[in-house]
Structure 1
Amino acid sequence: MAESEDWQLLDRWRQGDQQAGAALLQRYFGILSRFFHNKVANPDDVADLVSETMLACTTGKERIRESSSFRSFLFAIAFNQLRRYYRKQRKRELERDDFLQCVAGEFDEASPATAVGNKRETSLLVQGLRSLPLEYQIILELTLFEELTGREIGELLDMPTPTVHTRLRRGKARLGAAIEALAANPEEYKSTVTDLEGWAAQLRKQIGTPVG
């Protein structure tokens, strides 16, 4: 389905065509599930966030459409939904802090291995990502899992592209250090960090199966 067709489906959904909305959900359910999966421990909350993101697509479209691809537009909404979720979940004494200071592991350390099968490398990748501050985790996941460009990530995070590249570089360094600390031996560490894109591709197939 072409990019223009996504916008057409959204236009029809905004006009009350529920089948058009269902078609968009069918296409983007897996992508959104991956985005939320490694940041939200409760599967029910993941499903709710996916639904809330899709429903939020029906408002504010004209403000973003001219300078954004549909996928970037969708991730921008998902990012805002995640921010709202974290604000609700955080401890009272942290409510006024910027949400980016909160690492994903603060909420729940439910086993990521259950979602990624038996491959030790994919488990290490997920655990390593979960240990990072969200400012690095999100940029890495959008790069590795969703293959967004630096410009697209900067657009949805309202961040200059050079800053995205800097955080991506720092994030990869932190991820490598985290995986090294988690790995059982040097061989396991090397096997994981030398093929991050390959393990991410496996995760794409295992996390966020489309509905229907």
Structure 2
Amino acid sequence: MEDSDEAKFAAWRAGDARAGAELFERHYDAIARFFRNKVDVDAPDLIQKTFLGCLESRERVRGDSSFRTYLFAVAHNVLYKHFRSRSRSPLDFGVTSVHDLRPSATALLARRGEEQALLQALRQIPLEHQVTLELYFWEKLGAREMAEIQGVPEGTIRTRLRRAKQLLEQALARVARSPAELHDTLANLDAWASSVRAQVAGRSDRPAT
């Protein structure tokens, strides 16, 4: 129990800087994955803001929520605030995509055409659907956890996930370089998603702690 996220977080809240550093190390890759296919040069700053925001709003952690779910909820709020602060007009993340907001942003490097197509397609669907799919495929979160993170009912998440998969298939049809690439990506979506996840987690741009 002393090594659990919740125990480390309690120690961090009490002023134990080492416990905070251990939590940062433990969850850095997951939070980095959350930002990397949505923002580029701003990602390290948003990761730092997420962990700082986690500490500042520590009293909001509910006993029935895991620390990991809470951390992603903070990251979700940081991301939306980031985009809203840079837009001159109100944003509807059920309609607006990362591609709409930053069409020239550099996507993550990928080794295979199918991986590149998947990353590009994710950036072209509405942000709330992109978030849902990435939490589902990359972090293996369930509907209940995703509902807590995004602040919507669990039924909404299930509907959103179905719609997100449809939108992703349509986006893949636009960005795939050939019918064969499209077919292979759709037929092996879980495998390509896992491959991309491993590459994102393997990047070495984390700061020293």
Normalising by structure 2, report the TM-score.
0.90
The reply to whether residue 59 of structure 1 matches residue 53 of structure 2 is: no
Classify the secondary structure of the residue corresponding to 1:191: helix
Offset at residue 58 of structure 1 (A)? 1.2
**1:125-136 correspondence runs (5 A):** 125-136=118-129
Unaligned ranges ≥5, structure 1 = none
* Corresponding pairs, count: 204
Whether contact under 8 Å (2:33, 2:200) holds in the other structure is yes
2:74 counterpart residue number: 77
Look up the equivalent residue of 1:190 and give its one-letter code. Answer: H
2:132 counterpart residue number: 139
The reply to whether residue 110 of structure 1 matches residue 109 of structure 2 is: no
Whether contact under 8 Å (1:144, 1:200) holds in the other structure is yes
Look up the equivalent residue of 1:163 and give its one-letter code. Answer: T
1:6 counterpart residue number: 5
Q: Deviation string for 1:120-144 (max 9, x for gaps)?
A: 1110000000001112111111101
Look up the equivalent residue of 1:73 and give its one-letter code. Answer: Y
Whether contact under 8 Å (1:31, 1:146) holds in the other structure is yes
Offset at residue 12 of structure 1 (A)? 1.4
Task: Name the structure where helix makes up a greater proportion of residues.
Answer: 1
Whether contact under 8 Å (2:94, 2:129) holds in the other structure is no
- Whose relative contact order is higher, 1 or 2, with alpha carbons under 8 Å and at least 6 apart? 1
Offset at residue 83 of structure 1 (A)? 1.4
Normalising by structure 1, report the TM-score.
0.89
Residues 171 and 107 of structure 1: CA distance in aligned 2, closer, same or farther (over 3 Å): same
The reply to whether residue 41 of structure 1 matches residue 40 of structure 2 is: yes
Offset at residue 99 of structure 1 (A)? 4.5
Query: How high is the sequence identity, in percent, across the aligned residues?
Result: 38
Residues 110 and 63 of structure 1: CA distance in aligned 2, closer, same or farther (over 3 Å): closer
Partners of 2:103 and 2:39 lie apart in 1 by 8
The reply to whether residue 206 of structure 1 matches residue 203 of structure 2 is: no
Unaligned ranges ≥5, structure 2 = none
